[in-house]
Amino acid sequence: MKKLLIAMVLVAGSVYFLFSYFFPDIQINKYSNIAAVHDQQAIQKGWIPAILPESAYEIAETHNLDTGDIFGAFKYKEKDEKSFIQYLSMLNDEKHTFEWGNFLFRIDREQNKVKFRNKPDKQQH
């Protein structure tokens, strides 16, 4: 009986380890507009940059609770492009990457779409 209990604990521990290793804790959230972001407190949680324009819509973000990696995208109305971009700093790279706070941005001005991610943590990578 004691051996059976030990075997069950070992199997349960192994299953837990395998699931947590191969299936990280990833969460995907979608918001119709900036009001929905505020309602879900996604900015306060650090999942969405606070700099989003008021016209932002079709907002989506994916975050990995294990690694802290955040990826997202949103669309915006052209009227907000200039006021949004004025707060960003361009990085010296060939990919036209902008930064603000702890986030990096890529802007597609033709489609009024922005992709964002948090800056990689150099200690983890």
Q: What is the pLDDT of residue 124?
A: 44
Strand partners, 60: 30, 73
State the pLDDT at residue 2: 74
pLDDT of 70 reads 96
- Distance CA(19)–CA(25), nearest Å, equals 10
Strand partners, 66: none
Distance CA 113, CA 28 (A): 19
Q: Which helix (H) or strand (E) holds 98?
A: strand 97-100
| Mean confidence (pLDDT) of the chain | 86
Match 């008021």 to its residue by tokens: 54
DSSP states of 27-92:
EEEEEEEHHHHHHTTTTTTTSS-TT--TT-EEEEEEEETTT--EEEEEE--GGGHHHHHTT-EE-S
Dihedral Cα 35, 87, 47, 112, nearest 10 deg: 70
pLDDT at site 74 = 98
Q: Dihedral (C-alpha) 118, 124, 40, 117: value to the nearest 10 degrees?
A: 20
Mean pLDDT of 18-24: 60
Question: Minimum mean pLDDT among 5-14, 15-24, 87-96, 110-119: which range?
Answer: 15-24
So what's the pLDDT on residue 71? 96
